[in-house]
Amino acid sequence: MSVSRLQPGKQFGPSPAPSGHKGLKKGVYVIPSLFTALNILAGFYSIMATMSGFRLLGIGGAQQISDAANRFDYAAMAIGWAFLCDMLDGRLARLTKSTTEIGIQLDSLADIVSFGLAPAILAYAWGYGTALQDWSNTRQLAWFLSFMYVICGGFRLARFNVQASRPRPLAEGTQKVDKKSFVGLPIPVAGCMIAAIVHFGPTPIKYAPHRGELLAILMMVLVAFLSVLMVSTMRFTSLKSVGTGRRNARLVIVMIGLAGLIYLYSQWVLLFLVLAYLVHGLVSRGLTSLSHRSPERQSAEMREV
């Protein structure tokens, strides 16, 4: 066939896809990973700020203590920014349908840095690690509690990844994974709980005006309690359905108002939000346990009365 017989504009084989469309598709997959990278950056900054504050406490002096409090406050706020990035990367991945296996694993690694290591180190340096350092064997217990918090958080993330990759029941009688709720306290919420407390009172517990040692003990109990909740089977709402209904305009107004309150009263509002989520899960578990009491047990109680 001569070249002169070919019709202009025609080519052999399938026509290649437009390069602009292909580049746009690749960019969509990069956006969630970018927010995940920002999540890791915020967690890394939190760890570095906490270490800087801990070093200043070792030097001593009124100015150093004030600077250490500022470092701890920055570390707590960085965990809050990491939480925002963690929310955005998941929602953007679902919105653009660009969820990948690498993105899921990278997100878990980011969470263990930002909501596992960073809060555990912050709770130790700001709280019980320095306030109770004069007590015998307390430093070892403080190390152990922070370590257990990280381990429980890692187990929580591993369990979540396994459940997300196996949404179907593997055997008869196995319950299907409920995507509207999380099994165990999510590690971002546990990390934000510690960060919200530090942001509420950034001055190290050691230099608290009243009962610093008691506050340090309560902080240790809280860290242990959060660790247990992460590996428990309690269900906490996932909030994934928020914003998916037909009242998105109202949701936008509520979010704008909430953002304004956080900007003006961040110390109170952030602590209230995390506490409200935690209490909601605990109360829901209690109500569920009461509603699932067996009829035989109820009848037996009635006979005893």
**What confidence score (pLDDT) does residue 4 get?**
43
pLDDT of residue 241: 56
Examine residue 153 and state whether it is found in any structural domain, yes or no. Answer: yes
Find how far residue 24's CA is from the centre of its chain: 30
In a domain, 261, yes or no: no
Nearest to 125 by CA among 208, 224, 54, 57: 54
In a domain, 207, yes or no: yes
Any idea what the CATH number is for the domain that residue 126 is in?
Answer: 1.20.120
Alpha-carbon gap, residue 127 to 121, rounded angstroms: 10
Q: Is residue 174 part of a domain?
A: no
Domain-embedded: residue 262: no
Q: What is the pLDDT of residue 150?
A: 96
Burial label for 298, CB within 10 Å (0-12, 13-18, 19+), is exposed
Within a domain: 69: yes
> Domain for residue 143, yes or no?
yes
DSSP structure string for 56-70:
HHHH-SHHHHHHHHH
Look at the chain and report how many structural domains it folds into. 1
Q: Is residue 93 part of a domain?
A: yes
The series of mean pLDDT values per 10 residues for the chain, 305 residues long, is 44 48 58 88 97 91 92 96 89 72 83 95 92 76 93 92 64 52 90 96 85 88 95 83 60 83 91 92 79 53 45
Question: What is the structure's pLDDT at 58?
Answer: 86
Domain with 89 in it: 28-164+182-239
Report CA 51 to chain centroid distance, whole Å.
Answer: 21
The tokens for 267 are 């110390």
Q: Supply the pLDDT for residue 5.
A: 44
Helices 62-95, 101-112: crossing angle, 10 deg rounding: 160
Would you call 208 exposed, middle or buried from its count of C-beta atoms within 10 A (0-12, 13-18, 19+)?
middle
Residue 81 is predicted with a pLDDT of 95
The three-class DSSP label of residue 117 is helix
